[in-house]
Amino acid sequence: MKRSLCLAVSAAMMVAGLVTGPLAAQAVEPARVLPTPQEVVDTGTAVDLSGAVTVVAKGDVDEPSKRALAEVLTDAGATATWATTAPATGTVIQFGTSDTATQAVATTLGVENASTLKADGYVVANGTNGGRDVVLVEGHDAPGLFYAVQTVRQLLNGDGVMAAATIRDWPLMPIRGAIEGFYGIPWSHQARLDQLDFYGLHKMNTYIYTPKDDAYLRTQWRQLYPAEELAQLKELVDEARANHVEFVFALSPGNDICYSKQADFDATVAKFEQLRGIGVTTFYIALDDIDPYLKCAEDLAQFTSSGFRKLADGQAFYLNKVVNQYVKVHGLKPLQTVPTNYAGSAPDPYKEQFGQQVDKSVIIQWTGEGVFSDQITMASAERAKTTYVTDHLYIWDNFPVNDGQPDRLFLNPFTGRAPTLHQVLDGFTSNPMVQSYASMIALAGYGDYTWSGPGYDAAATQAAIIDELAGDDATVREALAVFVDLNQDWRPYRPTSPQAPALSADIVAFWAAVDAGDTAGMKPLRDRLATIQALPTTLQGMATTGFYADSKPWIDAASEWAGAAATAVDAVVAMKAEDMPAAASAILESVSLRASARTTMRVSMLRGDTVTPNQLVPRVGDGQFDVFLSRAYTAFEASLGAEPVGAGAALPATASRSADLGQYQNNAVTNMTDANVSTLWWSNAAPTTDSWVQVDLGATQAVGSIAVHQADRDDAAGDMFYRAELQYSLDGTAWISAGMYDDTVVIRADFAAPVQARYVRVRATAPNPGGQWVKIREFVVTGPVTGFDTNIAVDAGSAPSGAFDVDVETALRGTAEAGNHITRLLDAPQTGGSVLLMGTAAGAVEVKTADGWVKIGDTVADSSLGAVNVPEGVSFTGARILLQAGEVSVTEFLVSTLTAPEVTPTATATATATTTATVTATATATATATATVTATTTATATATNTVTVTPSATASTKPSATPTVKPVDGTTLYTTPGFHKVNGRDWYTTCEPYSQTTRCRTEIWSTQVSLVNGVHIQETGWHFNNLTYLPEMTRAAWGNNPLANPGTFTSDGRAWRTECNTPATGRNGCRSFIWAPVTSATKKADGTWAYSTTKGWVFNNIVRFR
């Protein structure tokens, strides 16, 4: 059965020629051929193959090549007639391996024939002879003929016209393909068949069959295949032959073989004979990933060299016996192997002994300098050949295999391999991913590189394979390219891997556009995010549907991440427009999508022999989505003008475990309580029912929360308790349950009211599936938090602290009964300001005064961001919501020193407010006169006096003289967010990320004089004072920026002056001034004001260096 994969063409080597004869008047698109051919001559004649064509070939021409050409001609719209001699007229294709007939046509067309080429070489040429079109498709051998057809396939355009071309081509490496050698979910039979078709299309010739799920290769290697399994293998062997791919059968006996035992040799031969019976002619013995010691008494007696040399002796004895008594006897292709020590080029006793003892015909695989090799150089490969004492070394390349990071797809272009390695190596086989169709991106790179390393263009191959897999639809092609960009991170194997480079560039441009107020500059990121959000729908239209199925977990995750980012973009834009309710609504939606993207397990895993769905959270676009969202959230949080309530302190604890769990290597239980998530305790056995780990707090303590961080990361299942109960106890005997947990990576409990405990433990309620061990990175027990309180029924996984931490990614969720409360207590009294609610909680807003709790307004049942102002002059020490019955979800319940702007109440309230203000100013010599504001607001409300507001970045009235932030002095007020009183003056500072640093803006409460239509106007309020750039960049990083270098300069027609390293700036700073008019106001005896304007240097910026 033949399955066709659509082979599209893209940027690569262009082949063009002179257009004469019947097509001379037509403009023929230059063809692009991959892999890059070795020799191209710019001659030939474009030939229309969409009509009647005669294919001249011998009757015994290679059958796979014949089928392939017939398929190509049918796709071109040709009506093909097959003949052994050429007719008198009409278009002719001379087709076959090099013989007198093909050589005669080559001479006619002026091209050297294929007889002198290397193995797998071919010639493709076209031209005219006697006024008719002639095409030559000639192979040096049968594989070369097959590859010639693949080139013809690429030379045809959509109209069935073959581009003018004269090509002589051959591969530089004899071994080009893949080894199915990964751990995890094996490929399906259909996927393997499709892989073999793909290899043929891409001129790859090797498939090493060694899937880890085939027991007859490993644990049952001595047993012959049952008839059903053998029949499936035969179908693979036949499909490989149909694509000129060598099916290499790789046996893995190393776990229990006795190398010197005749019975084990006989079992090897019997297995190979069974496979030879279905057409296998190349065999491989894999000795990797085994215990590196001899197993049986016979081997220990026969092989007595020191150290690991004895292992090499035993293995060489066995391999040589297979070579001499089986491979050579039957005239088979050379035996292949991978040794037990398969990485690194440095000499060692095992490698040297293995290379010296094993038969020189054996072809040896090597993984490079590491199991995963970032780079493979000529020098490294030459050293390895010397170390392994072999002339036949080729690469087992562990890319793009993802069994070590099964939550990732590696869709990188294939790079990092010297272009001239064909001079020293026999070839490469890629170890692909669990996802066979997604692996085709990397495999296309291997095909093109191993054919012609010097001609390999990674970008061209990447573009071509994306088009091939996507199909002809331009929208699908663009979407697939966008998705591939999100999966470029090959860390830690390649530390310099780009992380979603195209997305990253759009994010950088977006923030620059935000800073510049350039709406158009924000569009590229918006467009990219829209494309990513639509991936689950768009990519369903891919030509290679298997890629979509393989990648669906990552496609869905990417869409969700993009949704989170797109709504964060909306929030940033809303903040710029000072529409904080809209910003809050977008932030809440973004947080929800991000939480789902970070926690939804979509990737299946193999547990024992069972494929278990939804075990891992896909990682996609990480390093970009996260950073972007964190920056957007931080900017929003800073705009709220509130301080978080501190978290509870971690309690000192001593860890222990049940004896049955043990310890793997040096991963001790003490690592669970060392406050370091990069260390861990690791069991050496799977838990059974009632296995446990626990911590002892040393004495009875008040406990506010517990968090047990399992596996390698918080967002991916792995070694952990899969069925567990969290318990606490006063005496270690009587245990109280804090919750049951299934498949939960972070076991967490937050107590609405502190509980008393000395011991806390995790107990297994059932054995782990698949015999999974347990890792625990941190077992954290924290004390209660003061400063807030609630008595609602808190949902599992939520915590009261989520409403008070100025962190939009946490929330208090639960169910309230009428009269329940959410309360925030202040460290010191505050006068005025506002109470902010972000989320959903219906009830009355109250503040605690000296006279008790006083109602100041109401919330609404569903509000993205609402605020209720504290009446002017009211001093209070706490705020609360006295709740109505219902669901509660509060992202933030904050007390802000900002007063919310007066707005029209919502439809649920009718309010009338009258505000009067009297301004009294005492002028100094400059416009920054001191001022006092007395504001009186009277409000009458009916129903619920509920107001949904936009908190401004600056206060609308003068703040309390006792701000809630820590006291600052005249140097730190510029870098500490919040309200400050310094030298009797009121100041207000906000900070936000800016380019590569953080920029703080400071304003001062003052009276400013401005000239409006010839009249001087005094305005008292918050006015700009300066910008301060925090010490997050070095002086060198600022480069030639005039704000960071002494001297004068002109910008936007204004004169500036910068001074650095002065007593005022300190050794690591600069400050800048602008030449500007300054108006002074002087009060005259009659009570009026006199104004005078002069020009001078006005302070504007501070830059601090790291």
Task: State the residue for tokens 């952990």.
Answer: 720
Q: How many helices, marked H, and strands, marked E, lie in the chain?
A: 20, 48
Give the amino acid at 1043: L
C-alpha radius of gyration, the chain, whole number: 37
Contact 91, 79 (CB under 8 A): no
> What CA–CA distance (Å, rounded) separates 509 from 1058?
28
Outline where DSSP puts E strands in 27-105: 31-33, 39-41, 47-48, 52-56, 79-83, 91-97
Give the tokens for residue 830. Answer: 């505050």
Beta bridge partners of 915: 937
**What is the enclosing helix (H) or strand (E) of 853?**
strand 852-858
Contact 245, 177 (CB under 8 A): yes
The CA dihedral of 1013, 1014, 1020, 1022, to the nearest 10 degrees, is 60
Could you tell me which of 196, 124, 205, 210 has the C-alpha nearest to residue 166? Answer: 124
SS3 assignment, position 391: coil
Give the tokens for residue 960. Answer: 């309390």
Contact 799, 856 (CB under 8 A): no
The three state secondary structure string of 1001-1058 is EEEEEEEEEEEECCEEEEEEEEEEEEEEECCCCCHHHHCCCHHHCCEEEEECCEEEEE
In terms of phi and psi (left: phi > 0; alpha: psi -120 to 50; beta: otherwise), the region of 690 is left
Give the tokens for residue 754. Answer: 């502190």
Judged on CB neighbours under 10 Å (0-12, 13-18, 19+), 899 is buried
> What CA–CA distance (Å, rounded) separates 738 from 754?
12
Give the tokens for residue 211. Answer: 């899937």
DSSP H helices in 296-341: 297-302, 309-322
Query: Angle at the Cα of 439 (from 433 to 445), degrees rounded to 5?
Result: 125
Judged on CB neighbours under 10 Å (0-12, 13-18, 19+), 567 is buried
Give the tokens for residue 274. Answer: 């069974």
Cis peptide before 492 (omega within 30 of 0): yes
Give the tokens for residue 866. Answer: 């609402």
In terms of phi and psi (left: phi > 0; alpha: psi -120 to 50; beta: otherwise), the region of 675 is left
Give the tokens for residue 491. Answer: 């860390």
Query: Given the DSSP bridges, would you call strands 206-209 and 52-56 parallel, antiparallel or unpaired?
Result: unpaired
Contact 117, 170 (CB under 8 A): yes
Q: Which residues contact 1079 (CB under 8 A, 6 or more apart)?
A: 927, 1009, 1010, 1011, 1016, 1091, 1092, 1093
CA atoms in the 13 A half-sphere facing the CB of 722: 18
Establish whether 289 is a catalytic residue. yes
CA-to-CA separations, 266 to 71, 586, 913, in angstroms, rounded: 45, 70, 99
Give the tokens for residue 367. Answer: 């993984």
Could you tell me which of 823, 831, 824, 872 has the C-alpha nearest to residue 850? Answer: 831
Residue of 289, 348, 473, 674 marked active site: 289
Give the amino acid at 169: D
Could you tell me which of 526, 561, 556 has the C-alpha nearest to residue 540? Answer: 556
* Catalytic residue positions, numbered: 289
